[in-house]
Structure formats: structure tokens, C-alpha cells
Amino acid sequence: MSKKSGFMKALKCRECGREYPLEATHVCEFDFGPLEVAYDYDKIKKSLTKDALAKRPQTMWRFRELLPVAEEPTVGTGVGYTPLVKADRLAKWLGVREAWVKNDAVNYPTLSFKDRVVSVALSRARELGFDTVACASTGNLANSVAANAASAGLDSFVFIPADLEEGKILNSLIYGARVVGIRGHYDEVNRLCAEIAGKYGWAFVNVNMRPYYAEGSKSMAFEIAEQLNWKLPQHTVAPMASGSLLTKIHKGYQELIKLGLAKDTKPVVHGAQATGCSPISAAYKDGKDFFKPVKPDTIAKSLAIGTPADGFYALKVMKETGGASDDVSDDEIRDAMKALAECEGIFTETAGGVTVGTAKKLVASGKIPAEDSVVLCVTGNGLKTLDAVQGHVGKPDEIKPSLREFEELIEPDLKVKTK
């Protein structure tokens, strides 16, 4: 086990500030508050400069000083630096002056933003001497843990709700992971995993490795800022399941400000949920700073967390930055998936539909002013949730290999076009 700590100082309770050694532990023994990595920012400032960045490869690890590993990463070294797409046609659909899509639907290797958190968690797990990794997952995390563990030669266990989309289940099995389907929703999978993690000596990426794991999400914010030439976006819309991604995007922006890499232009962060699982959005609308747990019922299964661990902090970030939250129905999710596909050629999964659909609502309600610019965090790939759009996107026309049949098929459309 490595004794080095790199740019990290300690684990620190977000509630009471008590400090803990940099081990595989995630809650404060005193008040159960989540532990977070504390960094030596003075040391980071000397190392993470724009000159240094210019020489580094285009992966999330170019921001290595702000990611919690003691030495050079060993798992998922090619993850990140996904495209930031200027989405002019989508901006029109949204009703906003300028829109960008941070496209983690094409993240490497498993087509979701989870590769970011997993490469951090597994690199750190190796440093701490683990040979078996595990996770509780709504699907994407399972895929990423399975794939990255395979490439690193680690054993993996993934725990998922048994009723997940077929694509997401196959996408874990193919890598040789031990996949355990739990007959229950994600919150029940989570509860079981908390108990399993206490019993077996594995690196559970979102349980005992959570302080390291969660930090990986910041890389999305770092990349967005750099891709916008170090100008922080006016508005960012992120999907919320546990609320972790949203809080870490905010933290990422704030760290860049602290290090002098970006100016403090008061970036606003908004949170998107599916109406069928919207504890955080409901709390926001009620003006509360705490949420009431719900039992999820939505096609956005990757966001179906009824007891969001970071819900409290997500509400705090939205309040502090002037952000807002809203939620969209299953039909609105599908409409938004289609809009993103038809406007920008990007096929996202249901979670991306939640983000895009909610952004449209936030523009309509004036929470995102029409004259502003917005970055949408698209976190997963549509090929993984084909079931969600099956039967909602039409069917191909079928004809004999005959020119006459084709003409009969197409003539009515052409007449309409020439009118």
C-alpha cells in the first residue's frame, strides 16, 4: 500500500470538519457526514498551470493534481476529454441564445460519464492495495466498473436492480464481471451494498471509495471550462440522481477560480430530474433545504434514486449559485431525446433526455434567460436504453426492390416539399 498522498491532505467530514486518514472509508464516525478529499491547493497551484496543461494529453487526467490519487493513475488513463459541441440547432429548440452539449455519451470506454469516477476510484483502489472492486449501480456505473476492472485485471462484483434495461445488463456481463440482480429498486440495492461493504474487504466504488470516486465528476467541469477557453459557462444543467455530479461540477468550477485558472463569473448550476423520481426538484419547488425520499417510477432508470445521498448539498449549490431545478415526464424525456438527436445528431439515453427536457422548461420559465448561454451535461448513450424509445420513433418503410414501389412511397412527400 502506497504511503504517498500526492496533492491530497486528508479526508474531511463535510458536516463537522473532523479529519481522517486517506483510506477506504466514507463516513464520519461521529455524525455520518460524507467524507471529502481535502487538497493542498498551494502545492497544486505551482504544478497545475496553463503552460503545464498545454503539454499534457487530452484526457481527464490532464487535471491530475485535482483528482484524488497519490501517484500517476493506472486505471482508465484514456478516459474523458469528450467533445463540447456548439449546439445551434438545439439552442433554437430550447429558445435560448447559445447552447453547448458536453457529450459524455461518447466517453471512453463505456459511453457514460461514469468512466470518469470509476477511473479515479479504481486507480485509488489499487494504490490502497485492493484486488476486488464492486459497486451498487443503476446500470452505467456497473458497465464502467466491469470494463475498467477487466482492463486492469481486477475482480469485480456489480449489484443492480434486477429489472434494468437489457442493454445495461449485457454491457456488464460481457466484461466477465459477477453481476448480481437485486429484486428491488436502487435504494434497496444501495442499502444491501452498504451492508455487504461492511462485511467483505472490497473496494466498493460508491461506498467505501466514495470520497475518491465522487471527485472524478469534477473533471467534467474542468474540461468544459478549458474547452470554453477558460471562460466559465453562464449556466450549466446537470442531471440529478444522488445529486453528486451537480455538486462536483460546482466544486470543479470553484477550484478553477481558486487556482486562478478561470475568472469568477458566478456560474449558475441547475439540476434536472425525472418527474417519476424527483425528490430534489420537489424540495427545490417547495423552498425546502431537505428532501423527502420517494419510490421511483420513471423510464430514466439511471436517475432513479429515491433517497439521494447528496440531495441536501445539491439543493445548497443551486441556492448559492442562483440555480433552479425542474423535472420532466416520461413523454417529455423522449421528446427531448428526439430533439437532441434531430438537432445535433447526438443519441443520448434517458438521463440526457431529462437534462435537455428540463433545460427547455427552465428557459420557458425564465430561470435560464433567453439571452444567455447554457451548457448541457449529457451523461450517457442512447444505445444503452433502446427499450425507452422502442415504439416511439416510428418504423422504417418496407418495400420490394422495385423503383415503382419506391416512387409510390416517396411521391406524396415530394409533392408536399415542392409546394
Partner 1 sequence: MAATVRIPTPLRKLTNEQETVEIESATIGTAVDELEGKFPGIKERLVDEAGEIRRFVNVYVNEEDIRFLENQDTPLKDGDDVSIIPAIAGG
Q: Give the footprint of partner 1 on this chain (CB under 8 A).
A: 15, 26-34, 135-138, 140-142, 184, 186-188, 190-191, 193-195, 198, 206-207, 210, 213-214, 241-245, 290, 292-293, 295, 305, 307-310, 312
Give min distance, CB of 166 to partner 1, in A: 18
Nearer to partner 1, 289 or 407 (CB): 289
What Cα–Cα distance (Å) separates residue 329 from each residue in 6, 58, 84, 303? Answer: 45, 37, 27, 13
Amino acid at 265: T
Give min distance, CB of 239 to partner 1, in A: 10
Nearer to partner 1, 227 or 307 (CB): 307
Give min distance, CB of 195 to partner 1, in A: 7
Nearer to partner 1, 127 or 310 (CB): 310
Nearer to partner 1, 96 or 182 (CB): 182
3-state secondary structure the chain: CCCCCCCEEEEEECCCCCEECCCCCCECCCCCCEEEEEECHHHHHHHCCHHHHHCCCCCHHHHHHHCCCCCCCCCCCCCCCCCEEECHHHHHHHCCCEEEEEEHHHCCCCCECHHHHHHHHHHHHHHCCCCEEEEECCCHHHHHHHHHHHHHCCEEEEEEECCCCHHHHHHHHCCCCEEEEECCCHHHHHHHHHHHHHHCCCEECCCCCHHHHHHCCHHHHHHHHHHCCCCCCCEEEEECCCCHHHHHHHHHHHHHHHCCCCCCCCCEEEEEEECCECHHHHHHHCCCCCCCCCCCCCCCHHHCCCCCCCHHHHHHHHHHHCCCEEEECHHHHHHHHHHHHHHHCCCECHHHHHHHHHHHHHHHCCCCCCCCEEEEEECEEHHHHHHHHCCCCCCCCCCCCCHHHHHHHHHHHHHHHHC
Q: How far apart are CA 198 and CA 63, in angstroms?
A: 32
Q: How far apart are CA 181 and CA 138, in angstroms?
A: 11
Give min distance, CB of 27 to partner 1, in A: 4
Nearer to partner 1, 62 or 185 (CB): 185
Give min distance, CB of 205 to partner 1, in A: 8
Nearer to partner 1, 190 or 234 (CB): 190
Nearer to partner 1, 81 or 313 (CB): 313
Give min distance, CB of 113 to partner 1, in A: 11
Nearer to partner 1, 85 or 205 (CB): 205
Give min distance, CB of 91 to partner 1, in A: 29
Nearer to partner 1, 79 or 141 (CB): 141
Give min distance, CB of 193 to partner 1, in A: 7
Give min distance, CB of 358 to partner 1, in A: 17
